[in-house]
Structure 1
Amino acid sequence: MPSQLVGPPEHIAEQLLARRERYGVTYYQVPDGAMEEFAAVIALLAGRRPTAERGSPGVLVTPGDPRPSTGSPVPGS
């Protein structure tokens, strides 16, 4: 399975839906620095119009990682 999502919000939303259907993946971790940009993807998935302008920069996202974004190990692992 591909491990990153790159591109405009519309493309990322399509990729997420396709991966959900094909692989059953429903959880992704979004880095803190990409939260604002990723809001446009969430809005598209929720059926709302994103507040970001069309053609906004892409967002890089990796599938759910059990570690916090600081890279610290998860307690008990």
Structure 2
Amino acid sequence: MNHNPEAVTSARIRADLSKRAVARECGFSEQLMCDIEAGRRNATPEKLRRIAVVLNCPVDALEAKRPEETAQQAEERQPSS
């Protein structure tokens, strides 16, 4: 999956937009937006980019994180000994 469904929902709520409004602005169906947020369908990179534009947030805030990336990020946050 290219996106994190919870991140998409969260960003949409922060933007104070309905699924219908986001779908309309992105040029796809409300059902697809519902499926993206529920994790039933994958948001292609192009669709994810359109969602990010409408929600005024960076694409990487909506992307699914790979386990190795999050582990590396956690290591970077820990103070070195």
| TM-score in terms of structure 1 length | 0.31
Q: Which protein has the bigger helix share?
A: 2
Q: Based on CA coordinates, which of the two structures has the bigger radius of gyration? A: 2
Give the TM-score of the pair, scaled to structure 2.
0.30
Return the structure number with greater strand share.
1
